[in-house]
Structure 1
Amino acid sequence: MNADERRLQVLRAIVADYVSTHEPVGSKAIVDRHNLGVSSATVRNDMAALEEEGYIAQPHTSAGRVPTDKGYRLFVDRLHEVKPLSSAERRAIQHFLEGTLDLDEVMRRSVRLLAQLTRQVAVVQYPTLTRSTVRHVEVVPITQARLMLVLITDTGRVDQRVVELGDVITEDATARIRTVLNSTLVGRRLTEASALVAELPEEAPPELRDAMLRVCTVLIESLVEHPEERLVLGGTANLTRNVTDFPGSLRKVMEALEEQVVVLKLLAASRDPSTVTVRIGEENEAEEMRSTSVVSIGYGSPGMILGGMGVVGPTRMDYAGTMASVRAVAAYVGEILAGR
């Protein structure tokens, strides 16, 4: 085994021990618990190299080390294959999901199952059974600080919403928002449109950002109002099991999970049923979610994505087990819904 492979084994040992104990990991513990076949001095040297490269870090009060976001990323990238679930786990999933009668029940059971299996927060997007596309978005000033949004679809649905801006807006700014919305959304399926709308506030120029955020938050409600385009969350209490995993940010994470825009964005990356996507810590775009990791996947039948699902938890998570559970539940839900 060369030095790089050995260091990767040391990193794996640190990740495994830290995930299970939540305690920083020292070289003696690695030698005692993991049969690496090398001395404590070698492990200490490997840990020094891993720390220098930014894969592990030393909390102020401890002699041990903990993985960094970069370390978790290397660990996940080197999981050559997601471990399959045991036949007992697969049977449990099948048993839990079979016999469900309606779509709501499938969604409720799926999110509950995913939260139980992973002990994280589970998110499932309702399948996109509608084929409606956006025909036009009209933005009408009611007062200087209030707009009317009118969404018109190709199926003839007209949805009106009022947006309270909290600040005055010029006619020119209103026109610019109208132009951006229509150039982004016209001709798009409603579900695709909702993911695109979630991106717009960040892309807006600074002077329009606040108004665009408020407009987009209201518009998302119009786009995902159909029951088949909702999101179901389960297991939010799991986040509170280890408050120390979210130093100073747990409340922000909980609040962000209540925002449809944020959660849709978390699932936007997972459009492929064959690939589990893992976003770790700082890789999450939403600032409030940067103390979390998101493991997600698309579900559906071959050639047709119906929606996304995934889990949100601390960066200190059992990635291999979580990825396996997310993939397995998605496969079963895809089969159930494709068979309808």
Structure 2
Amino acid sequence: MASPEERRRIVLNAIVEDYVATREPVGSKAVVERHGLTVSPATIRNDMAQLEEAGLIVQPYTSAGRIPTDAGYRVFVDSLADIKPLSLGERRAIERMLQGAVDLDDVLDRAVRLLAQITQQVAVVQYPSLRRTALRHVELIALSKRMILIVMITDAGRVEQRTFETDSSVSDADLEAIRGAVNEHLTGLQLDGLGKVSDRLLDDSPDRLREVTRKITQLVRQTLLNEVEERVVVAGTGNLSRYNVEFHHSIAPILDVLEEQVVLMKLLASQGEGLHVRIGHEIDAKELSETSVISSGYGNSSDQTIANLGIIGPTRMDYRGAISSVHAIANYLSEILRLN
């Protein structure tokens, strides 16, 4: 037989699960009947009173059952010992959807739409930060005798292009020599490792190629430093209208927040490695005080997070399913980046 403390935990979980499923306040008799408890409704009412005193549930109106508070949802989420695995059908659907993508833009677009569809919430995916990715290859293309196109490819699959004009014409042979030297010295490096290596590259360059090489390495570093590229893609904002009744206030402020790239990136920022759930007033944005944010990092290696993704929805959400979906999409994105 469960101890009183363990039984109260079971009662709280039952209230959360039933309220998420029905959107109706949950009474003691329903808890006993739906969850097969072997105690009387009177005992459950006593447990509910103690849970209410602890601030974990609340009675929305007289003679009603109970609903979870933000604190109650937090205790429930923290009690989830394992992430529920997706079904075989769900995994195959995700694999088909993501593996058919042709480039990084397509991958992220598919991922955010898929996450919104699976969870029925607003989904947000951050582009891999150039600051946290490494150069995979630099391609130099002569557009004319003096105009050069620089194509930078990162290990996250991002492709950036820049053009610049040289002071004098550059031969195909010289351009090939610069391309080889740049890739030899810079490939595999992140932003913080480019400085000294770039200096060595310039020292090793012939005098006639040093100025062109300097401009190329400067453009590469400036591109990786560029904050403008930090952006997110959003899908499923229409799902908010399905949950309009969940919010005491208008959803307009929430929609406004979804237009703010900087705010969204801050919301997704992980508090360390792994998956994170922020509920109600835990979110540092008053417009989102009636929502929950589930986020996870993804990366191009097992120990490096280069960007984040997540969902935003009402506090009354299927946390088990949502956590599983966010975790799964993050893992699939990481796997795709590692394979590219």
**Would you say 1:331 and 2:339 are equivalent positions?**
no
Pairwise CA distance, 1:271 = 5.0
Change (3 A) 1:283 1:84: same
Give the secondary-structure state (helix, strand or coil) at the position aligned to 2:243: helix
The 5 A counterparts of 1:72-221 are 72-130=73-131
CA offset digits 1:62-106 (Å, max 9, x no partner): 511100000000000010111111122111111111121111100
Unaligned 5+ runs, structure 1 = 133-156, 158-187, 190-221
CA contact (8 A) 2:27 2:65 kept: yes
Change (3 A) 1:238 1:223: farther
Give the secondary-structure state (helix, strand or coil) at the position aligned to 1:225: helix
Question: Which of 225, 228, 239 in structure 1 is aligned with 2:228?
Answer: 225
Change (3 A) 1:330 1:50: same
Pairwise CA distance, 1:296 = 0.3
Instruction: Write the distance in 2 (CA, Å) between the matches of 1:70 and 1:63.
Output: 20
CA offset digits 1:290-323 (Å, max 9, x no partner): 1100000000122221200000000001111100
Instruction: Write the distance in 2 (CA, Å) between the matches of 1:117 and 1:67.
Output: 24
Give the secondary-structure state (helix, strand or coil) at the position aligned to 1:336: helix
Larger Rg belongs to: 2
The 5 A counterparts of 1:293-312 are 293-300=292-299, 301-312=301-312
CA contact (8 A) 1:122 1:233 kept: yes
Pairwise CA distance, 1:250 = 1.2
Q: Which amino acid aligns with 1:39?
A: S
Q: Which amino acid aligns with 1:308?
A: N
Identity rate, percent: 56
Question: Corresponding residue for 1:253?
Answer: 254
CA contact (8 A) 1:126 1:230 kept: yes
Q: Which amino acid aligns with 2:59?
A: Q
Instruction: Write the distance in 2 (CA, Å) between the matches of 1:249 and 1:285.
Output: 19
Q: Which amino acid aligns with 1:110?
A: A
Pairwise CA distance, 1:286 = 0.9
Q: Which runs of 4+ in 1 moved over 6 A?
A: none
CA contact (8 A) 1:249 1:291 kept: no
Instruction: Write the distance in 1 (CA, Å) between the matches of 2:276 and 2:305.
Output: 15
Question: Corresponding residue for 1:236?
Answer: 237
Pairwise CA distance, 1:338 = 1.7
Instruction: Write the distance in 2 (CA, Å) between the matches of 1:233 and 1:224.
Output: 19
**Would you say 1:65 and 2:66 are equivalent positions?**
yes
Q: Which amino acid aligns with 2:5?
A: D
CA offset digits 1:142-196 (Å, max 9, x no partner): xxxxxxxxxxxxxxx9xxxxxxxxxxxxxxxxxxxxxxxxxxxxxx97xxxxxxx
Aligned residues: 252
Instruction: Write the distance in 2 (CA, Å) between the matches of 1:224 and 1:277.
Output: 25
CA offset digits 1:42-74 (Å, max 9, x no partner): 111111110011000011255111000000000
Instruction: Write the distance in 2 (CA, Å) between the matches of 1:131 and 1:6.
Output: 47
Instruction: Write the distance in 2 (CA, Å) between the matches of 1:271 and 1:111.
Output: 22
Give the secondary-structure state (helix, strand or coil) at the position aligned to 2:306: strand
Instruction: Write the distance in 1 (CA, Å) between the matches of 2:294 and 2:9.
Output: 22
Question: Corresponding residue for 2:157?
Answer: none
CA offset digits 1:125-145 (Å, max 9, x no partner): 01124569xxxxxxxxxxxxx
CA contact (8 A) 2:15 2:66 kept: yes
Give the secondary-structure state (helix, strand or coil) at the position aligned to 1:305: coil
Instruction: Write the distance in 2 (CA, Å) between the matches of 1:251 and 1:299.
Output: 30
Pairwise CA distance, 1:270 = 5.3
Question: Corresponding residue for 1:18?
Answer: 19
CA contact (8 A) 1:271 1:297 kept: no
CA contact (8 A) 2:279 2:315 kept: yes
Q: Which amino acid aligns with 1:257?
A: L
Question: Corresponding residue for 2:195?
Answer: none
Pairwise CA distance, 1:28 = 1.4
Change (3 A) 1:101 1:39: same
Give the secondary-structure state (helix, strand or coil) at the position aligned to 1:79: coil
Query: What is the alpha-carbon root mean square deviation over aligned residues?
Result: 2.1
Pairwise CA distance, 1:16 = 0.7
Q: Which amino acid aligns with 2:67?
A: V
Change (3 A) 1:270 1:257: farther
The 5 A counterparts of 1:287-298 are 287-298=286-297
Instruction: Write the distance in 2 (CA, Å) between the matches of 1:258 and 1:331.
Output: 26
Pairwise CA distance, 1:247 = 1.1
Q: Which amino acid aligns with 2:308?
A: G
Q: Which amino acid aligns with 2:262?
A: V
CA contact (8 A) 1:126 1:307 kept: yes
CA contact (8 A) 2:132 2:306 kept: no
